[in-house]
Structure 1
């Protein structure tokens, strides 16, 4: 199974207020995010991670988190990912990546400003969190963009199969919950 998510910002106290995250502490946020990740993702699953994993930009901190999280990760580097590891067995570090799923082409970058203005398929990105909902909702069908930020995904990874179902609706969705409601209405 293939999954997507971005901008966990583990160990980042300020992101709780900045993005109005529903956590009382960094420790509680870290544990919840890691549990949600590992509940959704099995060790052999593939994850395209859209950047900004941890605010602690040391190799040891990044390695510690990546060892705790399940899955084979394609890690698209974000603006807070100062440390690039040359090699981890289950992680591939890239500036961008492309893939096709069920005939739908995707181009993944961290900041949408770094992506193509007219992608051949869908531009998947993080970076903007939930702070500009009009410009960067979870799914902007007209702009052919998907914001992968954790806040918009309910703080858990999204299966690419599920995303393709959301996209097939041809609608704009503010977040994952809105897309789920539309699918079940």
Structure 2
């Protein structure tokens, strides 16, 4: 099974207030994330983390925490990800800035572009390829981005003329439909 999530911001106290996360402190947030993750993900699954797993990677507690998260972990780096510590790097099966993959469920195959940042043009855009992203945090910023994509979809441009179904989905852990747990593509598409 493949799962997707971003912007965990582990060990980042300010993220609780900044995102209006429903936690009193980091311990409560970490406990929820660990419980949600490990009750769903098995060691045979792959979890694509689309950036900002923490504020920085040089931290003994962070290394210990990520080591306890089940599954094969692929990190698509975000602006807060520091992977200079070799021990931390070893916790991921792959670390990259951008990734193109395939996922499927119920007999249908999907092309996906994975990036920490919302982008306005991606390979296969408007031709069925779905962008999964994070980074925006702000509902205002994300709403603006989604409106822009919707306008492209409605009106077309010289790149998207005649294309339909431009889809980009935020996988930020604090979104209502994410609820601080990795989600499958099927779960994500059921929300859109």
Task: Give the TM-score normalised by the residue count of structure 2.
Answer: 0.75
Structure 1 residues 90 and 80: alpha-carbon distance in aligned structure 2, compared to 1, 3 A threshold: closer
**Corresponding residue for 1:175?**
none
Q: Matched residue of 1:112: which SS?
A: coil
Q: 1:112 aligns with which of 118, 121, 132?
A: 118
Post-superposition Cα deviations, 1:106-162, rounded to whole Å, max 9, x if no partner, equal: 00011124xx6143111111111243342356xx77542110100111111101232
Segments of structure 1 that go 5 or more residues without pairing to the other structure are 167-178
Deviation at 1:94, TM superposition (A): 1.0
1:124 equivalent in alignment to 2:124: no
Segments of structure 2 that go 5 or more residues without pairing to the other structure are 154-165
Q: How many residues align?
A: 163
1:35 equivalent in alignment to 2:35: yes
**Corresponding residue for 2:161?**
none
**Corresponding residue for 1:147?**
170
Distance 2:49 2:59 in 1: 17
Structure 1 residues 18 and 47: alpha-carbon distance in aligned structure 2, compared to 1, 3 A threshold: same
Larger Rg: 2
Regions of 4+ moved over 6 Å: none
Post-superposition Cα deviations, 1:19-56, rounded to whole Å, max 9, x if no partner, equal: 00000011111111111111111111111110111124
Q: Matched residue of 1:64: which SS?
A: helix
How well do the aligned residues superpose, as a CA RMSD in angstroms? Answer: 2.3
**Corresponding residue for 1:2?**
2
Structure 1 residues 79 and 31: alpha-carbon distance in aligned structure 2, compared to 1, 3 A threshold: same
Task: Give the TM-score normalised by the residue count of structure 1.
Answer: 0.78
Structure 1 residues 95 and 61: alpha-carbon distance in aligned structure 2, compared to 1, 3 A threshold: farther
